[in-house]
């Protein structure tokens, strides 16, 4: 994955990260998959790389054609199953060090309706609750079930990918979601702009981006 400012792993390795969270859509098809998994393995983190499944892990896409497949999620899990890399499919990971207890929970809404929550975690005390999922639609599930969180991360929308005023709103089914952060009382909801493209291999008016959160 080569960008104008270097390889993805080199860009990320400049920062000393504890956790890296990838909110799905690793690749559009099986041909890109191996390269991207290799790139992810080169990324250095102090703790873990956590991955949520995206709709691209359930489908094969070539240009405008998209076909549903059922085994890519297993492939992602097998290929990335390393000590420092974990795919969270409705599962949690707990960081507990230096008097800091952080909950990470990865929802699987790569197919709508697949998302489940471990409600046993609601009773536990955490300094921060970081939830993540692929599609920002997870907010409906979270609000419906009154799930506690401090930071919610999602992706999927590519921030419209092609941002042409007016056309943008007519064409995009996710136009009502915000870009970047939405801060409500005591909660932060972040929708990442993502790195890749879907169908058309181009972006207009919005750069790909990585967000680094520093918890003080």
Give residues in contact with other proteins (CB under 8 A). 3-5, 8, 11, 15, 128, 150-151, 176, 178-188, 195, 197, 201-216
Which residue lies nearer to other proteins by CB, 91 or 208?
Answer: 208
The CA-atom distances, in angstroms, between 68 and each of 55, 112, 166, 174, 188 are: 9, 14, 31, 21, 33
Cβ at position 207, least distance to other proteins in Å? 5
Q: Which of 78, 84, 38, 85 is nearest to 57 (CA)?
A: 78
Under 8 Å between Cβ of 130 and 139: no
Rounded CA separation 37/27 (Å): 9
The end-to-end CA distance of the chain, in Å, is: 32
Which residue lies nearer to other proteins by CB, 77 or 101?
Answer: 101
Which residue lies nearer to other proteins by CB, 114 or 163?
Answer: 163
Which residue lies nearer to other proteins by CB, 66 or 187?
Answer: 187
């Amino acid at each position: 994955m080569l960008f104008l400012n270097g390889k993805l792993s080199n860009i990320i390795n400049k920062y000393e990260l504890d956790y890296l969270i990838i909110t799905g859509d690793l690749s559009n098809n099986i041909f890109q998959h191996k390269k991207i998994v290799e790139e992810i393995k080169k990324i250095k983190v102090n703790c873990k790389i956590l991955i949520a499944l995206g709709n691209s892990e359930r489908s094969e896409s070539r240009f405008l054609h998209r076909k549903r497949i059922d085994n890519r999620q297993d492939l992602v899990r097998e290929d990335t199953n390393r000590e420092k890399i974990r795919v969270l499919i409705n599962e949690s990971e707990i960081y507990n060090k230096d008097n800091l207890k952080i909950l990470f929970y990865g929802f699987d809404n790569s197919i709508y309706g697949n998302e489940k929550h471990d409600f046993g975690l609601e009773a536990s005390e955490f300094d921060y609750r970081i939830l993540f999922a692929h599609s920002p639609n997870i907010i409906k599930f979270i609000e419906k079930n009154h799930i506690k969180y401090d930071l919610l991360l999602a992706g999927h929308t590519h921030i419209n990918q092609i941002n042409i005023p007016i056309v943008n709103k007519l064409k995009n089914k996710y136009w009502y979601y915000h870009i970047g952060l939405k801060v409500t009382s005591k909660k932060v909801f972040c929708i990442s702009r993502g790195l890749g493209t879907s169908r058309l291999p181009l972006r207009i008016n919005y750069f790909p981006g990585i967000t680094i959160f520093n918890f003080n």
